[in-house]
Amino acid sequence: MTSRTGTVAELVAARWGDHRPGMWCEDRVLTHHQVAAGAAARAALLAGLLPSGAPPHLGVLLDNTEEFPLWLGAAALAGAAVAGVNPTRRGAELARDIRHTECAVLVTERARLPLLAGLELPGVRVLVTDGEEYGTLLAGCEGAVPDPYGVTPADRLLLYFTSGSTGAPKAAICSQGRLAAAGQALVRQFGVGADDVHYVCMPMFHGNAVIADWAPALAAGAGVALRRRFSASGFLTDVRRYRATYFTYVGRAVQYLLATPARPDDRDHPLRTGFGTEAGAADAAAFERRFGVRLVEGYGSSEGGAAIQWAPGTPAGAVGPARPGLVVLDPATGRECPAAVFGPGGRLVNGDEAIGELVNRGPSPFEGYWRNPAAEAERRRADGYWTGDLFYRDSRGYLYFAGRGDDRIRVDGENLAAAMIETIVARYEGADAVAVYGVPDPVTGDQVMAAVAGTFDPAGFAAFLRAQPDLGTKMAPRYVRVLERMPVTATNKIHRAVLRREGFRCADPVWWRPPGEDAYRLLTTDDTDDTEDAEGPPASARSPSIPCAARDSNPGPAD
């Protein structure tokens, strides 16, 4: 365990003199002392590169190599902030992220230099970690000793971008104090010790890998094993090689792991805990049955404004109990939504009243967005932190996730929980991955559309839906898009914005139920024309369409 520490800089410096192995990356091994020394050398280099009078910010455009955590440690010691740069961004969008966060220095590697070609980045010093100049610069800083006393808990340390599905990504601020406290809290929650090894396979430009994986390892003095990019087929090999005991996940990572061929030795490993979001109850149970590892699902807004932790006694399907201050409010009126009422099979029968936005009226660690007061005001209003996520609560105070704000589905005046429909459709035998979302309909408000990756039999799917006791009369998907592979973001989350904008006009086959019918049939051009005449244009015709090929710009796992 670890003692309470106020800054990440102190946690970095605490490893000075610790000669146990502390970091693994492919065939390279660094001791904890070498990690602290490497961070100190980079902090000294950074101090000479940052211009006076400007925000002390640096961008990091790297895969999960040892350079990423070394620069996190360097920034902590130097009182600077790291902006993790998403390598799937391109052109003007990529340049915008770097300029918006006012990065005076950009750390990258030769493999990423083509992304920067032709970009307007005035005043940005580019450091190439596998270049000759970089080695020369670092050699001049060897012998630096970590000095944590020039920084405070309030100093910015992270500027990490939200997904940006509804506009330009927002850079959420995380201070040294908040990151240190988050790491220490997870140490207490999971009993992390100095002999543990954290496997960091989620991308470090995203908050999950840094806040939930790297920070608790640093706080406990545990080791860190890095995977350059997530690989489902390489997962267990790495876990065994590095003797990893803990990992984090987001998005579809668990589904990708479950999709690998089962082996008799799937339980032969030291892994103890997985912590993350969006695995779903069914996949979490399947993961534990196969690999013998319990996954702990939690909820936390990217910005840190609200969090829910699972606790013993949490009902199936719920995220966890509402701690003081967490409420579900009607966004239109600001009033608290009534408790959920469940019918046969656990079906939510009063979704129109019960589904609302999760709001934290208690203390919030949200520290704002960099240079974005409008977005900050949208989060901080009416004496609370509005998460933008949809929830409902039961009579005992347990909270259930109903979808992201953009996932709001309203059919014939009834609010439907996209997450609940996804859980039901995911039971379909042919489904490897499922996403449920609304497509606008001027008559009913929305129609339910599902994207299913896997195999699809229209008659079998219709029969499957009829057999589900918790599927409400308005919840059955009107449209089903069948994909070979689900489009995902760089953090393996389903790219719902792409699916919503494409609607039912895409290159993939789409099956549909005409109004008043139960059977699914293949959607044709004549059907879409008739539908547009009867119901108005589909979602894709009301906004700029993104070609289905666009999903290739956000690749899934390395496999």
Whole-number percent of the chain with pLDDT over 70: 92
Do 336 and 433 sit in the same domain of this protein?
no
pLDDT band with cut points at 50, 70 and 90 for residue 550 = very low
**457 and 341 assigned to the same domain:** no
Amino acid at site 335: R
Question: Binning pLDDT at 50, 70 and 90, where does residue 537 land?
Answer: very low
Phi, psi of 333 (to 5 degrees): -110, -20
Place of tokens 């005991």: 245
Closest CA to 421 of 72, 412, 411: 411
Spatial neighbors of 389 by CB under 8 A, at least 6 apart, are 299, 301, 357, 358, 401, 403, 404, 405
Q: Judge residue 296's burial from the number of C-beta atoms within 10 Å of its C-beta, 0-12 exposed, 13-18 middle, 19 or more buried.
A: middle
- In single-letter form, the type of residue at position 155 comes to D
Q: Supply the angle between the helices 132-139 and 32-49 in degrees, to the nearest 10.
A: 100
Q: What CATH number is associated with residue 195?
A: 3.40.50.12780
pLDDT of residue 3: 46
Specify the pLDDT at position 443.
77
Judge contact between 440 and 539, C-beta under 8 A: yes
Average pLDDT over residues 309-334: 92
pLDDT (tens digit per residue) in 462-473:
999 999 988 888
- Asked if 392 and 479 sit in the same domain, the reply is no
Read off the tokens for 121. Answer: 């980045």
492 or 134, greater pLDDT: 134
pLDDT band at 535 (very low <50, low <70, confident <90, very high): very low
What's the half-sphere exposure (Cβ side, CA atoms, 13 Å) at 328? Answer: 27
Is pLDDT above 90 for 310? Answer: no
Identify the CATH number of the domain in which residue 413 sits. Answer: 3.30.300.30
**Burial track 212-241 (b if 16+ CB lie within 10 A, e otherwise):** bbbbbbbbbbbbbbbbbbbbbebbbebbee
| 298 in a structural domain | no
pLDDT at residue 408 in the model? 79
pLDDT the model gives residue 530: 54
Domain around 480: 409-553
Q: Are residues 324 and 426 in the same domain?
A: no
User: How many Å apart are CA 449 and CA 438, to the nearest integer?
Assistant: 6
Find the distance separating the first CA and the last CA of the chain, reported in whole Å. 36
Residue 541, pLDDT score? 33
- On whether both 396 and 419 belong to a single domain, the answer is no
Q: Model pTM?
A: 0.84
| Residue 290 C-beta-side C-alpha neighbours within 13 Å | 18
CB 421 within 8 A of CB 243: no
Look at 195-199, 248-252, 265-269, 457-461 and tell me which has the smallest mean pLDDT: 248-252
Rounded Cα gap, residues 503 and 437, in angstroms: 9
pLDDT of residue 85: 97
Q: Is residue 236, in this structure, part of any structural domain at all?
A: no
Domain count of the fold of the chain: 3
Task: Say whether both 19 and 138 belong to one domain.
Answer: yes
Structural domain contains residue 265: no
CA dihedral 439, 406, 426, 522 (to 10 degrees): 20
Query: Is pLDDT at 49 greater than 60 in this prediction?
Result: yes
- Judged against a pLDDT cut of 90, whether residue 344 lies above it is answered with no
Same domain for 425 and 323: no
For residue 126, count CB atoms less than 10 angstroms from its CB and return exposed for 0-12, middle for 13-18, buried for 19 or more.
Answer: middle
406 vs 143, more confident: 143
CA–CA separation, 39 and 44 (whole Å): 9
> What was the pLDDT predicted at 91?
94
**Helix pair angle (32-49, 67-78), 10° resolution:** 60
Provide Rg for the chain, Cα atoms.
24
Query: Which pLDDT score, from 0 to 100, does residue 481 have?
Result: 97
- Domain-terminating residue out of 195, 229, 263: 229
pLDDT, position 493? 84
List the structure tokens of 282: 């069914």
CA distance 454 to 468: 20
248-261 confidence digits (pLDDT tens): 998 789 988 998 99
pLDDT exceeds 90 at position 505 = no
Question: pLDDT at residue 540 above 50?
Answer: no
Model pLDDT, residue 555: 35
Average pLDDT on 107-123 reads 96
pLDDT tier, 352 (very low <50, low <70, confident <90, very high otherwise): confident
Instruction: Report how far residue 443's alpha carbon sits from residue 309's, in angstroms, rounded to the nearest whole number.
Output: 40
- 37-46, 137-146, 189-198, 487-496: range with lowest mean pLDDT: 487-496
Query: For residue 376, what pLDDT is reported?
Result: 94
Q: What are phi and psi of 73, to 5 degrees?
A: -65, -40
**546 half-sphere exposure, CB direction, 13 A CA radius:** 16
Residues 6+ apart with CB under 8 A from 314: 320, 321, 398
**Any domain includes 164:** yes
Distances (CA, A) of 534 to 94, 114, 515, 538: 41, 48, 11, 11
Does residue 107 lie in a domain region? yes
Q: Please tell me the predicted confidence (pLDDT) of residue 559.
A: 58
Split at pLDDT 50, 70, 90, the class of 4 is low
404 has which bridge partners? 389
Task: Show which of 175, 205, 229 is a domain's final residue.
Answer: 229
552 has a pLDDT exceeding 80: no
Which of 229, 260, 278 finishes a domain?
229
Give residue 462's pLDDT.
Answer: 96
Same-domain status, 140 and 58: yes
**Banded model confidence at residue 165, pLDDT cuts 50, 70, 90:** very low
| DSSP tag of 213 | I
Average pLDDT over residues 126-154: 96
Cα separation, 369 vs 371, in Å, equals 6
Are the C-beta atoms of 302 and 160 separated by less than 8 Å?
Answer: yes
3 state DSSP class of 452:
strand
pLDDT digits (tens, 9 = 90+) for 60-97: 999 999 999 999 999 999 999 999 999 989 999 999 99
Residue 458: the pLDDT is 96
What whole-number distance in Å separates Cα of residue 523 and Cα of residue 525? 7
